[in-house]
Every structure is written in structure tokens, then in C-alpha cells.
Structure 1
Amino acid sequence: MAQNLMMTMGFLEAVLSTLRSAHAQLAALAQKLRLPAGDKWLDEYMDESARLWKACQVMKAGLSSMENYCSAAADLASLLADPAQLSRLQIKRAISDCQMEMRFLDGRNRRLAETRLQTLCLNFDENHLLSSGSKLNEYSGFRGVLYAMRNVSTSLLVILLSGLVYCWPESSFSLRFHKEGSILGSGFMLSAATLHQRVINQLDSQPGILVYELQKVKLSTDELKMETARGRLEVESYNNKFGNLKSSFGDLQCGVESMIVQLDDFFDEIVEVREKLTDMCAHM
């Protein structure tokens, strides 16, 4: 499932990088245009950056749950490194504990999604998109760019939150395409919307966390469990499957750590831009 969707940590990192780039370009445009102080454009930018901040907080919470899982599962996996020192019952129990930790992770992220995602306004802003052209051209066109980038960001956020936190395919956030002539007719907007729609349309029927590395851990754990369920434990086969499990844990932990670093950098960028724009307006 996740591999076909390219919902690897590397893919999700690229999506987050695109989100950061879009925000940086919007901030650079605001500074370049030298927009009037004390006007609505600043409030509108602050609202959008606050939305990005909240969404990234949810992502980081989901990643923190994965990080906690990696730590707990790694401790359990260390017990399995030398099967000769353990009874078959102890091996099975350690594997079951690892699977239980996975269920805890799934439950934590599901509850996180249930309580936080609906507060993030992850739908296209139809009212603004259908506004008159003159309104979108206000502030030297900055308002139109802000609304366009808001919807690009929405598309990217949905992909990230579906991958890193939790996704219900049957109730996924919908994209609403407007009639010809709307701002969604631009190639950039359509590309972002199409990317989101292709991801959502291909989701598996089962809800969950759509990270490929996490699916690898699940598969490797199941394979190791089946190996220990055999009448006779084949050491070479066991070691091979345990090696796959250990490698899967490593890939997941590396990806989680890299995403957390990038999110922390994004938090710093948002704070810096908000301070710069506020200071710029204060000295006009």
C-alpha cells in the first residue's frame, strides 16, 4: 500500500520541504512589496502562519508517538538478538509486546487525529476563491497570492497529516474544484490539488498511519512471529528475519528523527518571519 503511494519518509520530507518553500516565498514577497502597515494583509498572513504552526504541532505530536514506539520496540527487539538465550515462550512474548506497542501507537495517533485535525481548517477557502478579481488584486496582488498559497498549503498538509498522523480513507478531506475561471485554474494550483487527489484516491481501505517504513516494521514483526511459531526454530532463518526487523526499526527511527528536525526548523522560520513582518510594519 504505502510503497505504491510513495508515502515513504523521504517522500513526506520532500512534501514538507515544498511547504516550507511556499511559505518562504510568500514571506519574501510580503517584504519585497513593502505593504502598508497596520492593514488587513498582516492579519491574514498571521492567521495563515498560525494555521501552519498548529498543523505542524499535530505532525510533531504524531512523530513523537512514533519516536516513543521506536524506543520501546528497540528495547524489546534487543531481547531477541540472541534466541539461544531465550525460551520459545520468551521470544513469542517479546514479539507480542512489540506488536502491542504498535497498537498503542496506532491508538494514540487515531485519538490525536480525532481531537485535533478538525480544528485546522483543511478545506479549500471557497469564499475567498470566489471573490471578485479586484479583491484578490488588493495589496499589489499579495492577497491573491496568499489565498492561492493557502490552498496549496492545505493540499500539502493533508498529505503530511494523512501520512504522519492518521488517515480515514472514506472520510478524507475532499478537494473541491471550481468552475473554469477560478483561481484553481492555475497550473500550480491544479498540480498541488492533483497530487493530493492521486494520493487520496489510492489509499487502502484500511485506516491508519500511512508511513511505508512503519508498514515494513509491521511486516517484519509478523514474519518473525511466524518463524517462531514453527515446530522447530531454524536459527539461520530466524536471524535473517530478525535482521530485517532490526533494519526496519532503524529506517523508521532515522526517518522520524529527520522529519522532527525539519519541523523544528520550520517552527523557527515561522517565528522569524512573523517577527520580521511585525518589525517592518512598526518602522514604516
Structure 2
Amino acid sequence: MKPSTSSVNGFYSFLSHGLDDLERCFSVQPFMSVQFLQRAMALLRSLHSHLTHLVHKLHLPVGDKWLDEYMDESSRLWEASLVLKLGLSGIESYCIAAADVVASLDSLQRSPPHLARQVMRALSSSRREAAGLEEENRALVENRVRPLALQLDERVLSMESKLHGFNGFRGVLYAMRNVSSYILIIVLWGSVSYWPDPGSGDNVTAAEGMLFCGSGFMVSLATLRQKLVGEIGGMGVRPGILMHEFRQARIAMEELREKMELAGGPMGCFELDGGGGGEARERLKGWVVLLRSGTENLVGQVDDFFDEIAEGRKKLLDLCSHR
């Protein structure tokens, strides 16, 4: 087996294992948990790193079309990550509004009489922040995400002869484009807004006919995709931001507001905890902490990914200029 063939097959194997691990993570954690989204982002970064390292092993011709194709793909990753960063910044703003509610509730316990209205204002502000965020993000998807054409290219059989080009790099880039597209779709669904699955084949059987170069990555991808689409279909509500912690924080916020309304306001809700306000308050505080820390972690991952894309582009340009 040629060294280039071994390296390419190793990339496909790494790709399949990464998707299988992500699917297992999905199966054992709450749907669209921030930990799952972090794992997806980590896989995307790792795949991009492996792709740039692979170029060094394939001895590709200097200044050929492969470099243009890589640059186009990395530009697409950059643009999608910019949208992701915008969506996450919106969740960070919501976390600030939710933290204000928590702070108002804590203050209410110490100096109740004159702070009741402050609690209600903070609750109203948080509700407006969440509603406005989801509306803005739907527009963000329409205007910034859809033009990027993040979708799966399932025409493998008709393209197979072309995928061996550039010592197999074109096939690797094809695989990377498919997998990175769906990983970005997943993270954007969780952090920005859901839109209908842009692919056409939602079953594993269809993917089994799309294998090439001995790779099973399409089957692994189809398995993950099938589970995600099935879970979303069973939600029974119009999806927006799918992140588990965001949805739970909103639910906890609404539960607290309803208890206050039934009790005649914050004072009635928290008087001797007769209205169940204490439990609702602690539930909200817990979800806000998880949401805030998880979002900060995701933002850090996206920032690191920007650096890695820029570094990868520079390395390949330098590689070509010094050969």
C-alpha cells in the first residue's frame, strides 16, 4: 500500500470513529446538551487539524487546484463559525438577563418590601431577551447560514473516479466537506436556530450504497443524522434554539413567573416558601449557571477554531511557496 493511500485511509478511519463517538455521546446525554455541542465542536476542530497535517504527507503539486479547493472549504468554515459566534453572543446576553433575575431574587430574600417590582421587571426583561433572540436568530439563519449551502453532497457513486484526484486528497476534502457541514448544522441548530434538515436521505440503508475508498463515514454520519432528526420530530413544538440548557432555563423562568402570578407577586410566592418559589428559584439558578459556563466554553472553542483555520491556511500557503 502506498504511503499516500495509507494516510488517506487513516483519515477516513479517524472520521468514522469520531462520528461514532459523537453518536454515542448523543445517546447518553440530554438532547442537544451543551456537552454534546462542545464534543461536536471539538470533533470539527480535530478534523480540520488532521486535514492540514495530511497535506504534508501527500506531496501534492505546488499551486495546483487542490489548494484553491482547500481555501474555499476553509473560507466556508470561517463564515459559518462567524454566524455561530453571533448566535452564542446572543445566548451570553440572555445569560446576563437571566442572572439579573437570579440576583433580584437573592436580594428579595434580604430586603423584600421594595424589591418586588425589580424582580418582576427583571423577569419581563429576560422574557423579551429570549423572544427577541430567537427572532433575530431565525433571520440570521435566513440571511447568513442558508447562502453557505451547508448540506450533504450524496452523489458519491457518480463522483467516485474524481475523488481519487490529488493522491486521494479530493476524496478527503469531499468527506471533510460533508462531515463538517453536518457538524456545523448540529452546533448551529443548538446555538443559533433550527431549520429543516437540508439533506434528502435520512436512513442508513441509503448511505450504505455511498461507500468509497473503503470508508464507512457516510454510514456513521447517516446514523447520527437519523437520531437527531427523529429526536427533533418528536419534540412536538416549533423548534428555535435547541440547546438543552437554554430551553431548560426558559422553562424554569416561566415556571417561576407563573408561581408569582398565582401567588399575587414575588412576596406571596416566597413567603415561607408557601408558593413553591424557593424550589423554582434554585432550579432557575442551577440552569443559568450551567448555561453560562457551557456557552463560555463554546465561545472559547469557536475563537480557537478561528485561530486554527488561519494557521492552517498560512501553513499550506507557506508549504507551497517553499517547495
* Counterpart position of 1:10: 35
Q: Is the 8 A contact 1:106 1:209 kept in 2?
A: yes
How many percent identity over aligned positions? 42
Is 1:29 matched up with 2:54? yes
Judge which range, 29-38 or 67-76, deviates more: 67-76
Cα 1:262–1:181 change in 2 (3 A) is closer
> Distance between the aligned counterparts of 1:139 and 1:117, measured in 2?
30
Distance change >3 Å, CA 89–CA 283, structure 1 → 2: closer
In structure 2, the partner of 1:256 is: 295
Match of 2:283 among 228, 244, 247: 244
Please report how far the alpha carbon of residue 173 of structure 1 lies from its aligned counterpart in structure 2 after TM superposition.
1.7
Matched, 1:180 2:209: yes
| Cα RMSD after superposing both structures | 2.2
Conserved 8 A contact 1:184-1:190:
no
More deviation, 38-47/220-229: 220-229
Q: Greater CA deviation, 67-76 or 57-66?
A: 67-76
Q: 2:119 aligns with which of 67, 74, 91?
A: 91
2:18 match: none
Asked whether the equivalents of residues 27 and 273 of structure 1 are also in contact (C-alpha less than 8 Å), the reply is yes
Report the Cα offset of residue 253 of structure 1: 0.8
| Residue 225 in structure 1 maps to residue 257 in structure 2 | yes
CA contact (8 A) 1:123 1:175 kept: no
Q: Contact 2:157–2:210 at 8 Å: present in 1 too?
A: no
Using a 3 Å threshold, how does the CA distance of structure 1 residues 79 and 88 change in structure 2: closer, same or farther? closer
What CA distance in whole angstroms lies between the structure 1 residues aligned with 2:200 and 2:41? 19
List per-residue Cα deviations over 1:200-253 (Å, max 9, x = no partner): 222124120000110111111112112212344343332322122122111111
Measure the CA separation in 2 of the matches of 1:148 and 1:222: 43
Report the Cα distance in structure 1 between the residues aligned to 2:304 and 2:200, rounded to whole angstroms: 29
CA distance in 2, matches of 1:238, 1:48: 51
137-146 vs 57-66, greater mean Cα deviation: 137-146
Offset at residue 92 of structure 1 (A) = 3.2
In structure 1, runs of 5+ residues without a counterpart are none
The count of aligned residue pairs is: 279
Q: Which runs of 5+ in 2 are unaligned?
A: 1-27
Does 1:153 find its partner at 2:153? no
The structure 1 residue matched to 2:81, chosen from 41, 50, 56, is 56
Deviation, 1:267, is 0.7
- Alignment of 1:265 with 2:299, yes or no, is no
| Contact map agreement 1:129 1:147 (CA 8 A) in 2 | no
Following TM superposition, the consecutive aligned residue runs of length 4 or more in structure 1 with deviations greater than 3 angstroms are 85-93, 126-129, 175-179, 181-186
Moved more, 224-233 or 273-282: 224-233
The AA in structure 1 aligned to 2:134 is: D
Given the superposition, is the C-alpha separation of residues 172 and 185 from structure 1 closer, same or farther in structure 2, using an over 3 Å criterion? farther
Deviations 1:61-83 (A, max 9, x none): 10011111112332243222233
**Distance in 2 between the 1:119 and 1:62 partners?**
17
Q: Give how far 1:155 is off.
A: 1.7
Per mean C-alpha deviation after superposition, the further-off stretch among 215-224 and 118-127 is: 118-127
For residues 163 and 68 of structure 1, do their structure 2 counterparts lie closer, same or farther at Cα, with a shift above 3 Å needed?
A: same
Partner of 1:138: 165
TM-score normalised by structure 1 residue count: 0.90
How far apart are the structure 2 equivalents of 1:105 and 1:78?
A: 22
**Quick one: which of 108, 119, 122 aligns to 2:136?**
108
